[in-house]
Amino acid sequence: MIVHVWSDIVCPWCYVGKRRFERGLERFPQRDRVEVVYRSFQLNPDAPAGQTSDRQEMLRRKYRLTQEQVEALDARMVETAKAEGLEYHLKGTRTGNTLDAHRLLQLALDERKQHAALERLYRAYFTEQRSIFEHEPLVELGVEAGLDPSKTREALAGDGYADRVALDLAQARAIGIGGVPFFVIDEKYGVSGAQSPEVFADALARAWSGGKTNGS
């Protein structure tokens, strides 16, 4: 059984959702027969390549929030992440176009190192405040996840895997995915958002048995 997960590296709920799904998968008796593939999604695909901006400022503009509201949202997000064993440092974080990071993850998928690469990118961004928007930092993070440095640098130098990222984005639109994380189980059943481990475990069991799963 295959689970496809659409997510973006700069999405704080996606990292939380990854952890919750993993805990739900641990409860699934047939977990060894489940393959999980992470698909590309960009929350801000129109962000200029090679440029970054203050993440809190972006949130203020996008959602018309005050600085106090943004800081309150961040504080709640930090506590939510902490409950999942994740350490978030959001103040001062930059944001930008994630196309190259997704191209790196597509390479990692071919090299059977996607889970390690995604985990490394999430931790770099949310915990260490390292850049995931320039080629050299991405190469370094890819190598730390087990990728070959020459192959990684070559892929990022051109437009390698950009077509696969575009295909993932097109499929997300076709399915009607408007937010992430979004989980498609067995190509039939959808679960939207960072649901609880219990919800994921139940969704997996229903998909395995051919039952109907309602995403929410």
Q: Give 29-46 pLDDT, tens digit per residue.
A: 999 999 999 999 999 999
How much is the average pLDDT of 105-133? 98
Question: How far apart, in whole angstroms, are the C-alpha atoms of residue 129 and residue 92?
Answer: 8
Measured CA to CA, the distance from residue 216 to residue 214 in angstroms comes to 6
Q: Residue written as tokens 């999942």?
A: 84
pLDDT (0 to 100) of residue 214? 45
Burial of residue 35 (number of CB atoms within 10 Å: 0-12, 13-18, 19+): exposed
What is the per-residue pLDDT across 153-212, written as a single tens digit (0 to 9) for each?
Answer: 999 999 999 999 999 999 999 999 999 999 999 998 999 999 999 999 999 999 999 854
Q: Could you tell me the pLDDT band of residue 111, with boundaries at 50, 70 and 90? A: very high
SS3 call for 94: strand
Using an 8 Å Cβ cutoff, are 18 and 9 in contact?
A: no
* Domains of the chain with CATH codes: 2-209 (3.40.30.10)
What are the backbone angles phi and psi of residue 161, rounded to the nearest 5°? Answer: 70, 5
Is residue 48 within 8 A of residue 16, CB to CB? The reply is no
How confident is the model at residue 212, as a pLDDT?
47
Q: What single-letter DSSP state applies at residue 41?
A: -
Position of tokens 């437009």?
159
Nearest partner of 19 among 66, 81, 88, 73, judged by Cα: 81
Question: Angle 147-200-179 (CA atoms, 0-180°, nearest 5)?
Answer: 70
Q: Are 13 and 74 in contact (CB under 8 A)?
A: no
Q: Which two tokens stand for residue 144?
A: 């730390």
pLDDT, tens digit, 9 for 90 and up, residues 46-84: 999 889 999 999 999 999 999 999 999 999 999 999 999
Res. 213 pLDDT band, cuts 50 70 90: very low
